Structure 1
Amino acid sequence: MIQLLSPTNFPDYELLDCGDFEKLERFGDVVLRRPEPQAVWKKVYTENEWQKKADIIFKGRSATSGEWIKKNKNAPDRWHIEYSNPEVSIKLRLGLTSFKHLGVFPEQAVNWDYISKTIKKFKTPSPKVLNLFAYTGAASLIANAAGADTTHVDSIKQVVTWANENQELSGLKNTRWMVEDALKYVKKELKRGKKYNGIILDPPAYGHGPNGEKWKLEDHIQEMMQDVVQLLDPGEHFLILNTYSLGFSSVIVENLIKTSFPKVKNLETGELFLQATSGIKLPLGVFGKFNSL
């Protein structure tokens, strides 16, 4: 079944408006204005409203880098937000990076809910969860907080360090941190005969491993899917695949999952979006997920 999903319970985040290739967002008490390539329509709020609301504005030097300009001189470079649902609660440290990201992708809260609910329903004690392309670790910490034995894999040491900071902020411990190329790590785990009750994949369109390994979504995602499904515990399991590539649809994700794992049950596919206060919707990638429950 194809679904459109948006977070509904995230008080520390609000998409205020988006359009003209920008988005206006509130993280905690801080309002930011930054580029958004998907927002090809006109803004709903006036330019004057945008200027009044924004504490910090990202000015790009290129499509991937730039600098933050503080309109509110008291606005922080780093601050914390909290996310909670009926099962778990975590805290995340945000920061102004030169590549316009802050350390969290709010639309993923939909998947965080799925992770915690599914883990809580498992009968397996301390189910094992593998988070690949795991970034600053929100999904890893959600799994950890829900009671999973969690392994976090990302190729960039700095973001793994950031994820560890988030773990400390959240009052959690014992996440297994791995700075490694995701595809190589999966192949090693296959050779070791490892099994996981949950696997989360959040691959970028392009990327590099710590030793220069190249990742291109359309070239490598089929190989990755064929491998990761072999790591799934045949009893209790779940898998989530997110993709952000503009060329990928939920039907492509559905086909990837079904051809890699023909016995799939409870498959859901669709599009993640953020609902703006102004009334507009901002699409932010597609997903496929399933579980054994």
Structure 2
Amino acid sequence: MTLTLNTAIQLLTPQYWEDYELIDCGDFEKLERFGEMVLIRPEPQAVWPKTLTEADWTKKHHIRFKGRSATSGDWIKKNPKMPDRWHISYANRDVRIGFRLGLTSFKHVGIFPEQAVNWDYITESVKAFKTPQPKVLNLFAYTGGASLVAKAAGADTTHVDSIKQVVTWANENQELSGLDNIRWVVEDALKFVKRELKRGNKYNGIILDPPAYGHGPKGEKWKLEDHIMEMMRDVVQLLDPEEHFLILNTYSLGFSSVIVENLIRTAFPVVQNLEIGELYLQATAGTKLPLGVFGKFRKLKK
């Protein structure tokens, strides 16, 4: 098979975030506002100097993450009375969803803001489908941003993640968003896909946001470069042939958008309307922060 790699590479950043702002980034850190809370967190891709001064960062922030190891650390609050949990919302032209954020020991707060670009694509796709209540599958689904927008846009939505506590968190976000009836599945994503293939199930939309490394609930091991091709070959067989969309998003520092394009074209040679590129956040101070690569495509009924 010969691959023709001539798809234009896009650079995309969220357009509608009122409750999120990347203020500045640099020196391996980022200064971010989530609602009214301003945090400083590590950022391995911010290899350039900060634009604002250290005094500016110190003045603006409320809470700072200090790492104890490569995978964990502590949050240092200016005021000990500042909450460990708080709420924000996201809205585009068609849907509004809510999130419960929290200070975790591994520097995350429960949301990846750059994913709003993909949430808009999901919303647009579900709204454009002619299929009544299209079925959407969200794999490696974390706290459920993609699941929430799919459901809010009118899709019958299945949410799959291997960590029970994260699925519970996603369920809280469903309640905050005024939604219900998302199907929650705690399972290894690859095992779930293979079971769905045996059942003959089909989906109009599939979202994959796999980690570089991970473990299933029964100790299953996931390594992106070892398993992603198998996953893609299986997943495309779940797509409804007449009307569908698929999003593949990766954060691995070793993955380029050309790799993502190769994966999609190899697994699904009949792909239509393929888009590839990078997601980034635009700092108010002026710098662009790259935060992953994506490939996505959709087919609508004529």
Superposed pair shares fold, TM > 0.5: yes
The corresponding residue for 1:163 is 170
The corresponding residue for 1:36 is 43
Whole-Å separation in 1 of the counterparts to 2:11 and 2:87:
28
Alignment partner of 1:229 is 2:249: no
Q: Which amino acid aligns with 1:253?
A: V
Structure 2 length as normaliser, TM-score?
0.96
Aligned counterpart for 1:272 among listed residues 270, 275, 279: 279
Across the aligned residues of Structure 1 and Structure 2, the Cα RMSD in angstroms comes to: 0.6
Alignment partner of 1:94 is 2:101: yes
SS at match of 2:201: coil
Contact kept in structure 2, 1:30 and 1:75, CA below 8 Å: no
Whole-Å separation in 1 of the counterparts to 2:190 and 2:245:
19
Aligned counterpart for 1:194 among listed residues 157, 180, 201: 201
The corresponding residue for 2:4 is none
Aligned counterpart for 1:206 among listed residues 213, 217, 238: 213
SS at match of 1:16: strand
Whole-Å separation in 2 of the counterparts to 1:229 and 1:255:
14
SS at match of 1:114: helix
Whole-Å separation in 2 of the counterparts to 1:39 and 1:31:
18
Deviation of 1:210 (Å):
0.2
Alignment partner of 1:80 is 2:87: yes
The corresponding residue for 2:150 is 143
Whole-Å separation in 1 of the counterparts to 2:53 and 2:204:
48
Q: Which amino acid aligns with 1:271?
A: E
Deviation of 1:64 (Å):
1.2
Whole-Å separation in 1 of the counterparts to 2:25 and 2:229:
33
Alignment partner of 1:53 is 2:99: no
Q: Which runs of 4+ in 1 moved over 6 A?
A: none
The corresponding residue for 1:246 is 253
Deviation of 1:9 (Å):
1.0
Q: Which amino acid aligns with 2:45?
A: Q
- Per-residue CA distance 1:139-162 (angstroms, 9 max, x = gap): 000000000000000000000000
Whole-Å separation in 2 of the counterparts to 1:168 and 1:251:
38
Percent of pairs with identical residues: 79
Whole-Å separation in 2 of the counterparts to 1:2 and 1:204:
22
Structure 1 length as normaliser, TM-score?
0.99
Deviation of 1:73 (Å):
3.3
SS at match of 2:291: strand
The corresponding residue for 1:133 is 140
SS at match of 1:242: strand
The corresponding residue for 2:11 is 4
Which has the higher mean CA deviation after the structures are superposed, 269-278 or 65-74?
65-74
Whole-Å separation in 2 of the counterparts to 1:2 and 1:259:
18
Gap regions ≥5 residues in structure 2 = 1-7
Alignment partner of 1:292 is 2:293: no
Deviation of 1:72 (Å):
3.0
Gap regions ≥5 residues in structure 1 = none
Q: Which amino acid aligns with 2:282?
A: Q
Whole-Å separation in 2 of the counterparts to 1:31 and 1:252:
35
Deviation of 1:75 (Å):
2.2
The corresponding residue for 2:266 is 259
Count of aligned pairs:
293
SS at match of 2:289: strand
The corresponding residue for 2:3 is none
